[in-house]
Chains A and B, each alone.
Chain A
Amino acid sequence: MLEISRLQISRRTFVGGVGVSALAGLLAACTGPSTAPGPGAGIRWWDHFGGLQEQHKAWAAAQAERLGVAVEYSYNEPGRALEALQLANQSKQLPDVYSNIMGLPLPALVDSGWVSPIELSDEALGRLPEGTLVEGISMLDGVVYGLPSLSDRQYWACTWYNSEIAGSVGFEPPRSYDELRAALQSIADDGQFAPMTLALGASERIRDQVDDLAQAAGFPGWQGLRYDTGEYAYDDDTYVNAIELLKEISDNGWLLPGTNSFQIPDARGRWAAGNVGFAIDGPWAPGGVRALNEAHLPKMATAGELTPEGEDLVITRGAPAPTWFVAGNTPHADDVNKLLESFTQDDYQAVLAEAMDQPPLNLDTVADADVIEPYAWLVEDFKKRVFRAPQPQVRNGAANEALALITPVAPHLGDIIQGYLGGDVTDLKGELVKLSATFDKNLDQAIDKASGAGAKVSRDDWAFSDWQRGVDYAY
């Protein structure tokens, strides 16, 4: 029997014992099975859709009950979502279901084990609108790897305005550049409100919006790349005119002070506060405004998207990109497939519609959903004005090999716009010529690398001489 009196513990022995125990605990925590939520604990679902957080939380709870397996939903802020996925992948803790925020084409994700095949029942496949699953975009060799839930038929540079201010100041919804100038001038003359704000500090967002405005103005391509020739042409007049319009608005003092550094929530929040006339934002603005100031929703109005002279709007977009991926190492493939099937249901599509974020894949659900009138009007406008664009990776799957190797460009269009409006860039045309040349060079280099690795791809894959504006492209 151990006698207490014989148990002599020196200070050193005690501290050492505690240290060794702590070390052992640390090592055990590093190597042992984790009790915290992680791989194997149920379905983990990550996304970056801020406007859908409440809805997705509720959907996860409902699906957990239906499937009889835990569904843990987590939202990652868009600016951090990519980093979170990279770190999760490196520590082999990729969530079972995650939203698509990566810039990599599908084959690269498949090759690296990021995604696994999605098996949908015939019933679920039947619910998808025609042309949803496209080879090279969401499928490879007939196997589905990504599930779209959001519509490709949308435009992003919507002219949102405050209907109360419009009534007070007395301007008509602007459809052309001149009408916008006149409306802004009338607000400035009135003196009670700031005429306009933009998310100029978020250069990626202003890039998207000017890409959209240029296409609306007749640029025969998207993101600087001409469909007909397969060459970059950021220096096209459509781009220059759209940027000059923003410059004029800025120089006239029509932008709310601080706009030059506004991130997306700043610009949207200031507009939603009710003292700013106009904001250019995506169709998802009502969802964002609801989260910031729901009282502003009834004042929201939109004039669609500007064209230089008020011409009919024509927009082209590629096939629906995957919204959802399934992790390559998921241990819950069957349950995850069932969860994804639930995203094709009309009630989920209605949830998306009522969130008034990005329009749902099935645009028809919006008509019956509880949404504000301008959102419903926009979605109807999308059906009439947005057409399917040609994509090199759809015509030739090997183009994906080159797309995965393209080096990003800096400064990109959004940076140049920010610099031009702030006075740091003085030669706009020169910068745009340089930008086109850099994009052309990077694409050529990527094609050369891919070709060198055995891919049968050439610059010709990017040229669609038979493309016609205002017509869905068919291969």
Chain B
Amino acid sequence: MATQSRQRRRNLWIYAFLMPTFILYGVYTIYPIVASYWYSLVEWNGFSSEQRFVGISNYQAVLADPLFWSSVRITLLFMLVVAPLRIFGAFFLAILLNSPKLPFTKFFRTVYFLPVVTTTAIIGVVMRFILDPAAGPVAAVVGLFGLPPVDLLGESGTALVTTALVYVWKFFGITMIYWLAALQTIPQDVYDAARVDGAGGVRIFRHITLPMLLPFLLIITVLTIEDCFHAFDLMQTMTAGGPFYSTEIIEIYIYRWAFAASIPQLGFASAAAVLFGVLVLVVVALQAWATLTSQRIQSQRSESERTESQIERQVGAQIVRRTGKGRA
């Protein structure tokens, strides 16, 4: 009886500690998700109290809008430019910064991480000044070579790439930290043993570092890709989706209909938001499936290689026994 009572009291404490998380998660995550699903089924401008149920017509309207598909294309393009640069660029930088031979590693780690902790909107505004074709430092450098001003953010052909590179620079540090943390998991003994066996830097990287970091690739890729879908603050402050929609990622498309339209279309914007959520889910699921499949194939291959080498060893041993070779 006393044990049960103690157990109940203990459970009560567990629930008490969990309660703030449940409440905050419910209010700030679950409720908005559920609400946006509801809003996507109604016609509502955010002003009137009337929310007219329209079924799936908001979804039909979103899917029929060429600018929605343009924003999907731009979002995916942005992700395809940004994610590999972040993942592999940060990977090689982390390897470099993890080297015991490199001096001032702490300084360099801080320098690369500094943009991560800087407010994104501030970076967006500052970058506009830096890239200003009339008076920015980039224009000054270009001018030194006698070249005409380059309007990187004002030309639809260069705006997306420019914002993508700024985004990579801004968030490079966070991916680098993931890789550095992953590198810390490789025991130093393994490296030492390899060196004793005469392995050089390239072989150590190829046969120790790379295979041991591979399991981290999945989670880092998933986190980075998911992160790349959220570039609203930087894009809004740098280009606001322009010029002529050339940098309008889905988040800006949603914002434009929800808050920047003369008569806000919250139902339409919510439908676009739900479809965006589905897109993120599909991309991450595809990516996870591809990675897991390649890992499975790889482990099957190494398993079969191991089996083959075991067979070879056994066969070799039998031959040795039969021929008597190898005996002293």
Contacts and interface: CB of A to CB of B under 8 A. Distances in A.
B151 A108 contact: no
B16 A260 contact: no
Given A102-B47, A261-B242, A404-B263, A12 B13 contact: yes
B155 A260 contact: yes
Interface string B252-286: 00001101111111000000000000000000000
Contacts of A418: 242-244
Interface in A401-435: 404, 406-408, 410-411, 415, 418-419, 422-425
Given A257-B133, A261-B243, A114 B47 contact: yes
Given A20-B16, A26-B20, A82-B264, A201 B259 contact: no
Q: 6 tightest A-B contacts by CB?
A: A103-B262, A260-B154, A419-B244, A257-B133, A257-B149, A261-B154
Interface string A226-258: 000000000000000000000000000000111
A201 B151 contact: no
Given A16-B17, A408-B261, A424 B47 contact: no
Interface residues on A, range: 35 or more
A21 to B, nearest CB: 11
A194 B139 CA distance: 15
A120 to B, nearest CB: 25
Contacts of A141: none
A451 to B, nearest CB: 15
Interface of B: 13, 16-17, 19-20, 23, 45-50, 67, 132-134, 139, 149, 151, 153-156, 159, 239-240, 242-246, 256-257, 259-265
A112 to B, nearest CB: 4
A126 to B, nearest CB: 33
Nearest to A276: B134
B134 A270 contact: yes
A83 interface: yes
Given A12-B13, A89-B47, A257-B151, A104 B263 contact: yes
Given A256-B134, A422-B156, A424-B156, A113 B20 contact: no
Nearest to A419: B244
A331 interface: no
Looking at chain B's contact residues, is the secondary structure mostly helix, strand, loop, or mixed?
loop
A241 B67 CA distance: 27
A408 B266 CA distance: 12
A415 B133 CA distance: 21
B263 A103 contact: yes
16 contacts: A12-B13, A16-B17, A23-B19, A23-B20, A26-B20, A83-B259, A86-B47, A86-B259, A114-B47, A258-B151, A260-B155, A260-B243, A261-B153, A408-B263, A410-B67, A422-B244
Contacts of A104: 45, 47-48, 263
A19 B242 contact: no
A410 B19 contact: no
A224 B151 CA distance: 31
Contacts of A203: 242
A22 interface: yes
A22 B132 CA distance: 48
A432 to B, nearest CB: 15
A368 interface: no
Contacts of B257: 408
Contacts of B240: 201, 263
A345 interface: no
Contact of A408 (B23, B239, B265): B265
Nearest to B150: A257
Given A114-B47, A257-B151, A258-B134, 14 more contacts: A16-B13, A26-B20, A26-B23, A86-B259, A104-B48, A111-B48, A112-B50, A257-B149, A258-B154, A261-B243, A270-B134, A406-B263, A424-B243, A424-B246
Nearest to A416: B244
Contacts of A367: none
Contacts of B153: 261
A104 B46 CA distance: 11
Interface in A181-209: 194, 200-201, 203
B45 A422 contact: no
A292 interface: no
Contact of B67 (A12, A258, A411): A411
Contacts of A407: 263, 265
B31 to A, nearest CB: 13
Contact of B48 (A108, A260, A415): A108
B20 A22 contact: yes
